[in-house]
Amino acid sequence: TPICPHSFNKRSVVVSSQAEICVKVEKTRESYVDEASVRCDGEVCAAVETGDVIRIRKAELPFEMVCVREVGFYQKMRSKLNRT
């Protein structure tokens, strides 16, 4: 299921794990106040302004997205409901 099915013209970008992507915030017009924000998973994680450079690269440490544990879902629910 697409996350944003209405935006067909925006495609994912796949790069090498050694690549670094740099995005520089440029001045649009002299009369404008250039304000922008960096969003991570839909949340604002940084405010940026004209001249700032955002560097995107692979993290040095691995990130664990899914953690499978030995305790099952129903076992955990019984424990939380005090039903052993």
Per-residue pLDDT tens over the stretch 19-62: 999 999 888 777 676 778 888 877 899 999 888 999 999 989 98
Structure tokens that stand for 23 in this block: 């995005």
pLDDT band at 84 (very low <50, low <70, confident <90, very high): low
Q: Residue holding tokens 């992507």? A: 21
Half-sphere exposure of 74 (CA within 13 A, CB side): 0
- Whether 50 is in a domain gets the answer yes
For residue 41, what are the domain limits?
14-60
- Whether 44 is in a domain gets the answer yes
- Whether 8 is in a domain gets the answer no
CA 83 to chain centre: 38
Q: Residue holding tokens 């935006």? A: 7
Number of structural domains (the chain) is 1
